[in-house]
Chains A and B, each alone.
Chain A
Amino acid sequence: MIEINNLVKHYGDKKAVNGISFTVEDDEVLGFLGPNGAGKSTTMNIITGYLSSTSGTVKVNGHDILEEPELAKKDIGYLPELPPLYLDMTVLEYLNYICDIKQVKRSERKEQLAKIIAMVKITDVADRLIGNLSKGYKQRVGIAQALVGNPSILILDEPTVGLDPNQIIEIRKLIRTLAKDHSVIISSHILSEIQEVCDRVVIINKGKVAAIDTITDLSKRLAGSSKLLLSFKGDAKKIMNEIRSLPGVSDCKIRISDKDIHEAEITVTGNSASDIRTSIFYVMSRNSSPIMEFRSLDPTLEEIFLSITAGT
């Protein structure tokens, strides 16, 4: 568990981080979002003890990162944006070195490394020089490095940046496996990734927390009204009018009309979009117009992100 309380970091006159507070529970995956320069990396660097905050506290499992750095750092595994790899060492030499500086007991070392190597799937490159590995493998070695010492908290700064789609899927899978028994903080620009692996998101902008919530709650909060997408065949004008007259429908407009298939966007006010779907179905049925597609248009994380960061 990490408790971050009113974190402030000044760079000269500039406030890179300006009063950020949030908590990461045990075994939770927290997404950390924000536009470039919002203070994501700075915050992560402070949590891991790389930088010191100007004011505010970070407590890792109850240990203050400044007052009890050794204890706090033992519980954290950190993968920075640029994985800290020694290109002139083999994977195994490197992980042994990490064991050394993280003070892993000699008796536990072999077992722990074997487990980590199997988990991040780098068994077949264990004896190769890190400098000769592909970017995906380097990233995995970086994650392996963070796992050494069995920390309960993992902090991953843009773990999938620069990887190809297959590698991204692999790394995401890995993160989901890790999330079972670790608290994880992930920062990323790839919003779909956050949506896929995270329980909660913290969105920061200009050094301040703009929103903290689960993704579903965030979309509800933002939506206020929900939208439905309907494509159908038949008399567009007549059907539109009928749908508009349904109670709870505030707007209905044609997005695309292609020969005989029309695509309409229906805005529903009120709380439940599910009720209106039945009525819409009967409207279509009465008019004997076939429904080609019918789904709800919930805002994606992209839209949430844009609307939150644009306004502030």
Chain B
Amino acid sequence: MIAVFKREFLSYFRSPVGYIAIALFSFLSGYIFVNNFATGAVNIASEVISLRSFFVVIVPIITMGLFAEDKKRGTEILYYTSPIDLFSVVAGKFLAAFCLYGIMFVNVFIHMIVTKSCDGIVDIGAWGSVIVFFFLAMLFISIGIFASAITDSQIIAAIFSFIMIMVIQLLSTISSLAGNAIAAFLSMLGVASESSNSVGEAITNGINWLDPFAKTSDFRYGSFSVAPLVFCISFAIVFLFLTFRVLEKKRWAKS
């Protein structure tokens, strides 16, 4: 696992990918921070929360090549023919992408120091958002890795993870749209409005249950709980396991 991690992590800096991702993140976080700074209302928590909307761009950039490139170059054969466990390959690549995120995030820590040195406040809510940020990063990176494992084209991997992350980010909108649509459909069929509304509501709630953003929203107010974090980790593990299965399946390929 460490070998794969080391290779993948260093390879971010052998190609422009790592630099582009870090530059992009620095620009975005710096832009948000400076904007807040100018108004005199620096809020690290809100900065971190705004940065979450860029997962959709940055995660596909850093994960698209992880497996797709190996397949295209034929180097994936090394994983299958070496006495190495396929899951440790997946874990190594995941860790590499996660650490790259850690390096990007140094920006935010610098902003915290600047805020502190200007007599600003870095409260528990800021730290709460930071924790949530990293758990969400885990979740989205695992989706990106899965996308990269199912295709040998980086572009398709990027598009696929972009769409998946987009859907998760819009989950609260999607859920209310779906709930309303179904309620409207049922009442059109002549179901009493009370019961059709409650079905719609149930569907909205059901989809909302999947929304990691809603689950972790209390962290920014300093109210921590374990369940949402477990949710994110489980989500990530499921996708990493699916990735592992995709790789394993290749061995038994029927075509």
Given contacts A11-B255, A50-B251, contact A103 B74 (CB under 8 A): no
Residue of B nearest to A81 (CB): B74
**How far in angstroms is the closest Cβ of chain A from B27?**
25
- Contact present for A100 and B3 (CB under 8 Å): yes
- The segment out of A85-93, A174-182, A245-253 that lies at the interface is A85-93
- B75's partner among A49, A52, A86 (CB-CB below 8 A) is A86
Q: Are B252 and A73 in contact (CB under 8 A)?
A: no
CB distance from B66 to the nearest CB of A (A): 13
Complex interface: chain B residues within 8 A of A69 (CB): 83
B64 shortest CB reach to chain A, Å: 16
- Minimum CB–CB distance from A96 to chain B (whole Å) comes to 9
Q: Does A255 contact B (CB under 8 A)?
A: no
Q: Is the Cβ of B11 less than 8 Å from the Cβ of A86? A: yes
The contact string, 1 if C-beta is below 8 Å from chain B, for chain A 65-94, is 000011101101010101111111100000
Contact with A along B73-90 (1 / 0, CB 8 A): 111111111111000000
**In the complex, chain A residues whose CB is within 8 Å of the CB of B14:** 88-89
Which residues on the B side are within 8 Å of A114 (C-beta)? Answer: none
Contact B73 A87 (CB under 8 A): yes
**Chain A: interface size category:** 20 to 34
Q: Could you give, for residues 51-64 of chain A, a 1 whenever the CB lies within 8 Å of some chain B CB and a 0 otherwise?
A: 11000000000000
- Is A76 within 8 A of B81, CB to CB? yes
Assess the B82–A84 pair: CB atoms within 8 A.
no
Determine if B38 is an interface residue (Cβ-Cβ < 8 Å): no
Q: Which of A10, A11, A50 has the most CB of B within 10 A?
A: A50
Complex Cα distance, B70 from A82, in Å, reads 12
Interface size class of B (residues with CB under 8 A): 20 to 34
Instruction: Select one of B4, B75, B83, B252 contacting A85, CB under 8 A.
Output: B75
Tell me whether A12 is interfacial, beta carbon within 8 Å: yes
Q: Are A73 and B73 in contact (CB under 8 A)?
A: no
**Set of chain B residues within 8 Å of A87, measured between Cβ atoms:** 73
List the B side residues contacting A73 at CB < 8 Å: 81-83
**Chain A residues whose C-beta falls within 8 Å of the C-beta of B2 in the assembled complex:** 100
Interface centre among A52, A80, A98, A101 (most CB of B within 10 A): A101
Q: Is A48 an interface residue (CB 8 A)?
A: yes
**Nearest Cβ distance between residue B81 and chain A, in whole angstroms?**
5
A-B contact pairs, 28 of them (CB 8 A): A10-B254, A11-B253, A11-B254, A49-B81, A50-B81, A51-B251, A51-B253, A69-B83, A73-B82, A80-B74, A80-B77, A83-B74, A84-B73, A86-B11, A86-B73, A89-B7, A97-B3, A97-B6, A97-B7, A100-B2, A100-B3, A100-B6, A101-B3, A101-B4, A101-B79, A101-B84, A102-B83, A102-B84
Which B residues lie at the A interface, using CB under 8 A?
A: 2-4, 6-7, 11, 14-15, 73-84, 251-255
Q: Which 10 A-B pairs have the closest CB atoms?
A: A100-B3, A82-B74, A70-B83, A88-B14, A84-B75, A50-B80, A73-B83, A48-B81, A101-B82, A52-B251
